Amino acid sequence: MDSAPLLRADFDTRVADTVAWLRVPVIKVNTIFLPNGGVTLTPVFSPISTIDDWTALPDGAVAILRGSDYHIDWIWADGTRSSTPKMPFDWKRLTDEDKVAVIDSTKKMLERQALSPAGASAAPGAGTPGNHGGAPAIPAGHSMTIMPVGSDDGAPPPQSANKAAAVSNIAQLVSPSDLPDYYPPVLQSGVMKADYDGNVWILPSTTTQIGSGLLYDVVNRKGELTMRVRLPEGRALEGFGPNGSVYLTSHGRGGARLERARLK
């Protein structure tokens, strides 16, 4: 399991501390030793990982969504902590055949993006409201080659890194056996939001399974799933206002457009 700290900083005292630890996407490194003394490091990504997400509430509390069992850990404004029960989620087991299919389909998608001038540098699922948060972001497959600069025995320096074998710009993926046994509830971090009233809006991985438009789970401070809200097709959730206001973006030929709507 890969993890990263969630940090909190006091700008008056210039002191930072760790609030919690979060599960993050799994990234491995493939190391190739070159005959000329150099080494090539290539990141290897997983198209799906069991990860956590978090958001800050208007009163300063922090909600941390645990992707392993779909519950929320709360860090309240006074520093106390609590956890609420698991929330309902349609868990889908990934068989060995499912895992192979996920890897194969992701490879094909990355190859199409590499051939497309418009999508060569874009991550899957990024920048399009219809897929906002619905797919993990996989960066391009950039490798790094480290070359020695010479030796003390008078031997000539090794060949330039420019003469090393070319490395594909398509991201390398983990083997199917490295994927989780269940399809995770969330695929991207940074998508979870808190509204004006302190409710948490979660975009689960099941959002695209039924109907058109993104389907959010709305959870109150008790950890209760109070409602599900489906956005109009082609819209992405950007923020909230008072009295049930939500702000959405849509994209068209004229560019991006900001819209305001109300839940009731």
Three-state secondary structure string covering 172-222: EECCHHHCCCECCCCCCCCCCEECCCCCEEECCHHHHCCCCCCEEEEECCC
Q: Are 86 and 222 in contact (CB under 8 A)?
A: no
Does residue 130 have a pLDDT over 50?
A: no
Work out the pLDDT band at 87, boundaries 50, 70, 90.
very high
Q: Say if 57 falls within a structural domain.
A: yes
The domain total for the chain is 1
Work out the pLDDT band at 121, boundaries 50, 70, 90.
very low
What pLDDT is recorded for position 196?
A: 92
Work out the pLDDT band at 156, boundaries 50, 70, 90.
low
Q: Say if 180 falls within a structural domain.
A: yes
Between residues 238 and 156, the one the model is more confident about: 238
What pLDDT is recorded for position 71?
A: 97
Query: Across all residues in the chain, what is the average pLDDT?
Result: 83
Q: Say if 200 falls within a structural domain.
A: no
What pLDDT is recorded for position 206?
A: 86
Report the share of the chain in percent with pLDDT over 70.
Answer: 78
What pLDDT is recorded for position 92?
A: 93
Q: Say if 231 falls within a structural domain.
A: no
What pLDDT is recorded for position 111?
A: 85
Q: Say if 98 falls within a structural domain.
A: yes
Does residue 133 have a pLDDT over 80?
A: no
Domain span at residue 27 reads 3-185
Q: Say if 236 falls within a structural domain.
A: no
Q: Say if 249 falls within a structural domain.
A: no
Residues 6+ away with beta carbon under 8 Å from 169: 114, 140, 141, 142
Q: Which of 1-15, 73-87, 201-215 has the lowest mean pLDDT?
A: 201-215
Q: Say if 245 falls within a structural domain.
A: no
Cα–Cα distance for residue pair 48/31, rounded to 1 Å: 22
What pLDDT is recorded for position 162?
A: 47
